[in-house]
Amino acid sequence: MNPAFELKNVSKKFKRSNGGWSNALSGVSFKIQSGEFLAIIGPSGAGKTTLMRLLNLTLRPSEGEILLEGQNPLNLNASSLRKLRTKTGSIYQQFDIVPSIRVIHNILSGKLPSWSFLKSFLSLIYPIDITSVARVAEKVGILECLWEKTSKLSGGEQQRVAIARTLIQNPSHILADEPVASVDPSRADSILILLKKLSEENKTTLVVNIHDIALALKFFPRIIGIRNGKIEFDLNSKEITKEILQKLYEGDKEFQYESLNKLKNI
Ligand SMILES: Nc1ncnc2c1ncn2[C@@H]1O[C@H](COP(=O)(O)OP(=O)(O)OP(=O)(O)O)[C@@H](O)[C@H]1O
Ligand SMILES: [Mg+2]
């Protein structure tokens, strides 16, 4: 079987406003198998979000190749590309949901990429496919909030809305960029437990950018460390040591080194 994702010597450059270039990623190669759980860690500006956006095909590599289930998206026509894109569901730190509308409409918006214009338009007037919405809302534990205005929900509940919106798309792969960074630390565990449980049930690939190392080590068997746009390590979480983490975050002003002493089992 083809890997879910394969990166071959991928680089991504961005043009800066002063005319120079920033090398967000350089020479990155690795594979992610379908159904794998993987966390990506590294200092601020290392290239983690850029990597996510390359994986979900919102960015194109400047050099190298990305294959999704063995296919190069650059070789596909518009309709095959659309189909390939809907295989991946993305969850962002800021949830990316519309606060002023009801929860049910936010969840349904996950269906938009696969619906015709007319169906999408009608769903704004009256939500169609309520059964699917109820099914995913129940799975993430927000069934009773369906008709609430989304802004009335807590941070953790809003993140669950974002997860439900991804689930309704029935993705084969879930990418989450700092999914717990905007929720109360005490709720972060339950969001990750939920994401993992749902991914196990549906045999979904789960790739998460996460700045909390303790959570990365607790929930993910494979950890990739990125620094200055390059892969520093790609290891089983059991192989990670304090020295490896210190090297990864060396010079990062925001990193709290004393947090390494609190880590268990390393
Ligand atoms: N659209 C863009 N235009 C110019 N530079 C960009 C753009 N997007 C990212 N970069 C640069 O690429 C580098 C990597 O950014 P990226 O957002 O991928 O880092 P990150 O690892 O996600 O950081 P953080 O942990 O702070 O979220 C940074 O130097 C950033 O300034
Ligand atoms: Mg980021």
The pLDDT value recorded for residue 152 is: 96
45 lines ligand 1 (CB under 6 A): yes
37 with 220: CB under 8 angstroms?
A: yes
**Within a domain: 118:** no
**Within a domain: 249:** yes
Instruction: Identify the residue with better confidence: 184 or 236.
Output: 236
The pLDDT value recorded for residue 76 is: 94
**Within a domain: 66:** yes
Give, as one character, the DSSP assignment of residue 24.
E
| CATH number of the domain bearing residue 13 | 3.40.50.300
**Within a domain: 173:** no
Q: CA–CA separation, 215 vs 28, rounded Å?
A: 24
Instruction: Identify the residue with better confidence: 220 or 128.
Output: 220
Ranking 91-105, 106-120, 147-161, 231-245 by mean pLDDT, the lowest is 106-120
Tell me: pLDDT of 113 over 80.
Answer: no
How large a percentage of the chain has pLDDT more than 70?
A: 94
**Number of compact structural domains in the chain:** 1
Going by pLDDT thresholds of 50, 70 and 90, the confidence category of residue 260 is confident
Mutate-to-test residue for ligand 1 from 11, 14, 211, 232, highest number of ligand atoms within 8 A of CB: 14
**Within a domain: 207:** no
**Within a domain: 125:** no
Tell me: pLDDT of 176 over 70.
Answer: yes
Q: CA–CA separation, 246 vs 233, rounded Å?
A: 13
**Within a domain: 237:** yes
Which string of DSSP letters, residue by residue, matches 184-195?
-HHHHHHHHHHH
pLDDT in tens, 76-101: 999 999 889 999 999 988 778 899 99
Q: CA–CA separation, 70 vs 66, rounded Å?
A: 9
225 lines ligand 1 (CB under 6 A): no
**Within a domain: 262:** yes
Mutate-to-test residue for ligand 1 from 11, 17, 22, highest number of ligand atoms within 8 A of CB: 22
Ranking 46-50, 134-138, 183-187, 223-227 by mean pLDDT, the lowest is 183-187
pLDDT in tens, 13-67: 999 989 899 999 999 999 999 999 999 999 999 999 999 999 999 999 999 999 9
Q: 42 is in which domain, residue-wise?
A: 1-87+212-266
